[in-house]
Structure 1
Amino acid sequence: MLSVDEKDPDRPIRWGVLATGGIAAAVTADLLRMPDAEVVAVASRTTAAAENFADRFGIGRAYGDWAALAADDEVDVVYVATPHSAHRAAAGLLLEAGRAVLCEKAFTLNAAQAAELVAIARRREVFLMEAMWMYCNPLIRRMTALVADGAIGAIRTVHADFGLSGGFPPEHRLRDPALGGGALLDLGVYPVSFAQLLLGEPDHVQARGTLSPEGVDLNTGMLLGWDSGASALLSCSIVAESPMTASVSGTAGRIEFDRGFFYPDRFVLRRDGREPEEFVIEGDRASYRHEAVEVTRCLRAGETQSPLVPLEGSLAVMRTLDAVRERIGVRYPGEASAGAGSGAGTGTEV
């Protein structure tokens, strides 16, 4: 794959956007504020939706089908903002056409689909990254550096939660199995990704969940374990608002994140025998700019994946999510079993 620098080192990165919902709008707004980014095309399942989005953001080309965006040679990278159930089809189409892809989380419905996307990207030598913006946040990166340097000793426990009391009706996408609904893929992916950023893929997975009449998880608790002795207590919900905090405790101290740990503006480091240390970030804590900056850096360097959001890490998170679904009994249409039979390397506890 030729890097963007080799094509034209001076021009901005040209973005396409696939889907026109709220998250697509938020990311597009941030891209438009970046001096080295241009949003040049948008695609939706209907021409009307694409044109309305293009008019709203001043985008030059609007396509009523995904294939037209995939065929647009004036697009360097596409941000995929469809529901989880369409990630495999949308990202796969783009990758096969040679388009670099930034794909919303959860990466796909299950680990098998994620592995298929990674295989396409590697075969075509095209950039692919999960849009795990938390991993690109400067404070999260600072935390991982501190942990790696031994600031809190050996990690022993991780706590993280993400719950909303949305009162979502049965027809809402979060309650629709066909769209990958439920708390786990939309919200639980953050606590799981937070824990695995620090500890890697767990050796043991336990979970309990409450399911809706439609068969998606409304409330899920997870206990992940590592043979090192570390554990993570995680939860997600679409029926109860939680603190949305996180903490990492080690043998020599702990790190604490306030509400919104997945897009933090501060954390506190508490070490034995020392005064607490506060780390802060300035600017818009809800900005998607950090992940777009990382994509830009990778494309200009000719890299096919990001070291901040490596593909193996995304696959490992999907395997854990599969294992959780296997244990709580969530199965999406077309899957042979909950989690599609993946979940390798995640233990057998029930």
Structure 2
Amino acid sequence: MTNQPAGTSDGHLRWGILGTGFIAGLQTQDLLDNGFTVLAVGSRALDSSRAFAEQYGVAGARGSYEDLVADPLVDVVYIATPHPFHHANALLALNAGKHVLVEKPFTMNAREAQDIAELAESKGLVALEAMWTRFLPHMIRLRAIIQEGTIGEVRKVVASHNQSLPQDPAHRLNDPALGGGALLDLGIYPVSFAFDILGTPETIRASASMTATGVDRQTAAIFDHAGGQQAIVDCELDAASANRAMVIGTEGWIDVESTWYNPVPFTVHAADGSVIERFEQPVSSRGMQYQAAELERLVRAGDTAGTILPPSETVAVMTAMDEIRRQIGLSYAADATPDAQR
């Protein structure tokens, strides 16, 4: 539809929600608020699916992931399970002929990400990482400002994601068996932001402090690029910060306010500190509808990859995460697991 507002749907594609946790609820509400059709939800327990369906007014409740992806009326599956299960869940949906929107981190490692990307491409299906920040209006404008040369040559990107989260050793965030640690849950945001602005780095230098359970409590990394540009990224799971981001160029800088990965304002400064532009565009709902709209746009266009976040870049981001983990000594069971079924 030529006059369809950004972040909305014409309702023709039908969504299935795989998983019933907190993030699934946020995405489902944004879908429903913006004209998307949510047909069914699937969980490993039918009671959980029914409760979720009742809460959000979804017609269908399925008692297994297999039942959800087998539904011939479902066109797209949103994968909202914990990240150790993304690989298997995405392959299950793709093999059933469904497009997938997969929560971040996309997978546990680059090998799993490549599996999904290759299977989706072979089947002519969309596999999009749900890095919602990439698709928000402030990021669209930020990239345009950089492209226009407003701040000159970009030299540095700085981004943080630090939160004070549950410290219970049994909590998922602190459990290596469930992909715990700051990097995968929090660091994925600044790492992806650095890739968005500067692309794939030439070298990575990383450092971390670990928890008693063996996951990273805090991690910092410097990305060095062939042209001399740098990205400085950090994350922490037991101490909060303002969580701002900056893009620094030879003619000025962009200051993205707290919390930068949400739909927030930013200010463009000239090198002398004067304000060139202040961007502020409130969005309806939480803002997760924009990534869903991008997936629907790709499907309508018959494309399997867009320019904002193609599968190849998702794989590259996971490759960088793998290298950071190698340097800080953080490994998961998935790193040694043979390829899942195709």
Q: Same fold (TM over 0.5)?
A: yes
Distance in 2, Cα, partners of 1:335 & 1:11: 39
Q: Does 1:247 align with 2:230?
A: no
The one-letter code of the counterpart of 2:95 is E
- State the SS of the aligned residue for 1:335: helix
Instruction: Report the equivalent of 1:38.
Output: 37
Query: Are the counterparts in 1 of residues 263 and 283 from structure 2 also a CA contact under 8 Å?
Result: no
Deviates more, 1:272-281 or 1:238-247: 272-281
- Give deviations 1:201-220, integer Å, cap 9, x for gaps: 11111111111222111111
Q: Does 1:282 align with 2:282?
A: yes
Instruction: Report the equivalent of 2:85.
Output: 86
Q: 1:191 to 1:10 in 2, by over 3 A?
A: closer
Instruction: Report the equivalent of 1:294.
Output: 294
Query: Are the counterparts in 2 of residues 268 and 277 from structure 1 also a CA contact under 8 Å?
Result: yes
The one-letter code of the counterpart of 1:239 is D
Query: Are the counterparts in 2 of residues 163 and 244 from structure 1 also a CA contact under 8 Å?
Result: yes
4+ residue segments displaced more than 6 Å: none
Distance in 1, Cα, partners of 2:96 & 2:292: 21
- Give deviations 1:10-29, integer Å, cap 9, x for gaps: 75221100000000001101
Gaps of 5+ in 1: 1-8, 341-350
CA RMSD of superposed structures (Å): 1.7
Distance in 2, Cα, partners of 1:159 & 1:303: 32
Query: Are the counterparts in 2 of residues 269 and 277 from structure 1 also a CA contact under 8 Å?
Result: yes
Instruction: Report the equivalent of 1:265.
Output: 264
Query: Are the counterparts in 1 of residues 267 and 275 from structure 2 also a CA contact under 8 Å?
Result: no
Distance in 2, Cα, partners of 1:285 & 1:205: 36
Distance in 2, Cα, partners of 1:26 & 1:81: 10
Q: Does 1:148 align with 2:140?
A: no
- State the SS of the aligned residue for 2:170: coil
Query: Are the counterparts in 2 of residues 264 and 285 from structure 1 also a CA contact under 8 Å?
Result: no
Alpha-carbon offset, residue 305 of structure 1? 2.4
Distance in 1, Cα, partners of 2:270 & 2:191: 25
Q: 1:334 to 1:186 in 2, by over 3 A?
A: closer
The one-letter code of the counterpart of 2:300 is R
Instruction: Report the equivalent of 1:314.
Output: 314
Query: Are the counterparts in 1 of residues 136 and 287 from structure 2 also a CA contact under 8 Å?
Result: no
Query: Are the counterparts in 2 of residues 129 and 306 from structure 1 also a CA contact under 8 Å?
Result: no
Alpha-carbon offset, residue 167 of structure 1? 3.6
Query: Are the counterparts in 1 of residues 258 and 264 from structure 2 also a CA contact under 8 Å?
Result: no
Q: Does 1:204 align with 2:192?
A: no
Distance in 2, Cα, partners of 1:185 & 1:312: 18
Alpha-carbon offset, residue 100 of structure 1? 0.4
Q: 1:142 to 1:53 in 2, by over 3 A?
A: same
Query: Are the counterparts in 1 of residues 137 and 281 from structure 2 also a CA contact under 8 Å?
Result: yes
- Give deviations 1:35-86, integer Å, cap 9, x for gaps: 2x11111111111111111111121211111111111110110110011100
Q: Does 1:183 align with 2:175?
A: no
Deviates more, 1:116-125 or 1:291-300: 291-300
Deviates more, 1:323-332 or 1:174-183: 174-183
Distance in 2, Cα, partners of 1:133 & 1:334: 25
Instruction: Report the equivalent of 1:348.
Output: none
Alpha-carbon offset, residue 264 of structure 1? 3.0
Gaps of 5+ in 2: 1-8
Alpha-carbon offset, residue 284 of structure 1? 3.9
The one-letter code of the counterpart of 1:73 is P
Q: 1:185 to 1:303 in 2, by over 3 A?
A: same
Query: Are the counterparts in 2 of residues 265 and 285 from structure 1 also a CA contact under 8 Å?
Result: no
Distance in 1, Cα, partners of 2:224 & 2:89: 34
Alpha-carbon offset, residue 168 of structure 1? 2.4
Distance in 2, Cα, partners of 1:264 & 1:31: 17
The one-letter code of the counterpart of 1:128 is A
Instruction: Report the equivalent of 2:3.
Output: none
Distance in 1, Cα, partners of 2:265 & 2:78: 28
- State the SS of the aligned residue for 1:308: coil
Instruction: Report the equivalent of 2:191.
Output: 192
The one-letter code of the counterpart of 1:159 is V
- Give deviations 1:217-254, integer Å, cap 9, x for gaps: 11111111112111111110101102210001011110
Query: Are the counterparts in 1 of residues 247 and 254 from structure 2 also a CA contact under 8 Å?
Result: yes
Q: How many residues align?
A: 329
Q: Does 1:213 align with 2:212?
A: yes
Instruction: Report the equivalent of 1:101.
Output: 100
The one-letter code of the counterpart of 1:103 is V
- State the SS of the aligned residue for 1:201: coil
